[in-house]
Structure 1
């Protein structure tokens, strides 16, 4: 099994120490511990962790079967990475307090042209249904035509406390893997990518300027680097998920203003991916991440 692992990339991150009990929590408040993560190829043991991240994205959708989509992701050998906690070899099994199979992030792509797979056909149907809800025939026709071509569904999911910096090595690795797959005549030669971003919007705020009233709306991305991708996109389609998101982690409140969870379908040309990775690297310095 270890022969299929990628060379781990150690990523030191400071996270809150939740190990203290309530009796000493006052003294331990603000304490931080150093946690190391590693990126490697998805394995069967990662099924539940990957499924959980997909459910975080699709919520209670009755169209997308997250179990089947997870199976499709695991069936792709040599494509994609998961982030897991790095467990020192010297630790015995009983000394490990966290779940060693917890998946903190995933970066991968699936081919939307493989519509004979149930997981892919349901994902295609979901994208078309959300597009149709906008009641714009021209946009629906654009997406319908797009799905007739070579399109990859890009997955960039993680826990909210994992920083944007990890996106760079994960996407760089994914680009390399897709290039090697194309060299073996595998179907990873995409013209476009589609992804779904998690975001939050304020309710419309009414402001007055020189006696006139205007409505404004703030938008916050759960994965901030995805705002750069939106800036290079050909199409964005937003849909409200507030009725589905009772367990949606990471809701934001700013100055008492409620932030409502939304999702955004984003379409961008595949040729822009390399430039976007460079932009993410520049916008989110990786001084705290070592290869």
Structure 2
């Protein structure tokens, strides 16, 4: 195995190991600062199954029930040198974030991958901006499916080192003659827009026609990745309706309507996209 695929002796990666999260307020008395040490680790099948499965469910939102999420988590854990987890309280704890890549062609016979590939293809057909994806997936080319998710309150600054490590690990895997020489990377993510709540019927009627359909990113790096893409676009979840948005309102005036999001990047441009993420999100020195 190539040396650059190994982590530090304690399991942590060579990445920024401390970030400061601060919550500011107009009232100085309410100012709070929390110092958090983030550590990067390889996937460990003995530890990371439940944490990975939970984050996959979050990534696919209501449509997670359409797949064998347990089987997908097992597949991710079966390739521990590709991708990484981010943890706070040591290796034995559940991951707060993860990033990995799966070869859709290599694993095409596995049911969890076949079902997911079919789902991706069907969803891509619903958006003209994603029209190139179904043909690519059926072409026999090796497409790397990038799966990345983190807890909602995780700082976006963890993304650059995760992407940089993934690129290094894939380069090393290719040197080792492993099946990670991709033609494209297909990133599965999610966006959202705000909608008026159906809980306040009269208020909804009064504001009818004034809905703001502006798209927001759960992962800020997606906005950067999109600029390097061959294709990108959103799609509706199969099991989503406005009642779900109300349940996620969290006492706000507007409900939140999540949507799936895909970004397709040629392999030759992926490293440049990761560099752009670093420039955009890395904390100031």
* TM-score of the superposed pair, with normalisation by structure 1: 0.75
SS in 2 for 1:60: helix
Checking the alignment, whether the CA contact within 8 Å between 1:56 and 1:248 is kept in structure 2 is no
Residue 83 of structure 1 corresponds to which residue in structure 2? 86
Where in structure 2 are the equivalents of 1:182-221 lying within 5 Å? 182-203=174-195, 217-221=213-217
Checking the alignment, whether the CA contact within 8 Å between 2:20 and 2:36 is kept in structure 1 is yes
Deviation at residue 237 of structure 1 after TM alignment: 3.6
Could you tell me how far apart the structure 1 residues matched to 2:110 and 2:254 are? 43
The question of 1:34 aligning with 2:35 is answered yes
Checking the alignment, whether the CA contact within 8 Å between 2:142 and 2:184 is kept in structure 1 is yes
Residue 131 of structure 1 corresponds to which residue in structure 2? 124
Counterpart among 241, 245, 254 of residue 243 in structure 1? 241
Checking the alignment, whether the CA contact within 8 Å between 1:63 and 1:125 is kept in structure 2 is no
Deviation at residue 69 of structure 1 after TM alignment: 0.6
Deviation at residue 223 of structure 1 after TM alignment: 0.6
SS in 2 for 1:152: strand
Could you tell me how far apart the structure 2 residues matched to 1:286 and 1:244 are? 37
Deviation at residue 64 of structure 1 after TM alignment: 2.2
SS in 2 for 1:13: strand
Deviation at residue 185 of structure 1 after TM alignment: 0.8
Q: Cα distance 1:146–1:252, how it changes in 2: closer, same or farther (>3 A)?
A: farther
Could you tell me how far apart the structure 1 residues matched to 2:275 and 2:249 are? 29
Counterpart among 136, 141, 145 of residue 146 in structure 1? 136
Residue 22 of structure 1 corresponds to which residue in structure 2? none
Residue 57 of structure 2 corresponds to which residue in structure 1? 55
Deviations 1:121-165 (A, max 9, x none): 12111101212344x6x965x323211211000112111211221
Q: Cα distance 1:244–1:101, how it changes in 2: closer, same or farther (>3 A)?
A: farther
Deviation at residue 110 of structure 1 after TM alignment: 0.4
Could you tell me how far apart the structure 1 residues matched to 2:246 and 2:160 are? 25
Unaligned regions of 5+ residues in structure 1, if any? 17-27, 88-98, 205-212
Checking the alignment, whether the CA contact within 8 Å between 1:234 and 1:269 is kept in structure 2 is yes
Q: Cα distance 1:4–1:30, how it changes in 2: closer, same or farther (>3 A)?
A: closer
Deviation at residue 214 of structure 1 after TM alignment: 10
Counterpart among 5, 10, 24 of residue 11 in structure 2? 5
Residue 74 of structure 2 corresponds to which residue in structure 1? 71
Q: Cα distance 1:250–1:222, how it changes in 2: closer, same or farther (>3 A)?
A: farther
Residue 207 of structure 1 corresponds to which residue in structure 2? none
Counterpart among 218, 224, 227 of residue 222 in structure 1? 218
Deviation at residue 248 of structure 1 after TM alignment: 11
Could you tell me how far apart the structure 1 residues matched to 2:48 and 2:220 are? 25
Q: Cα distance 1:240–1:144, how it changes in 2: closer, same or farther (>3 A)?
A: closer
Unaligned regions of 5+ residues in structure 2, if any? 1-7, 24-28, 197-208
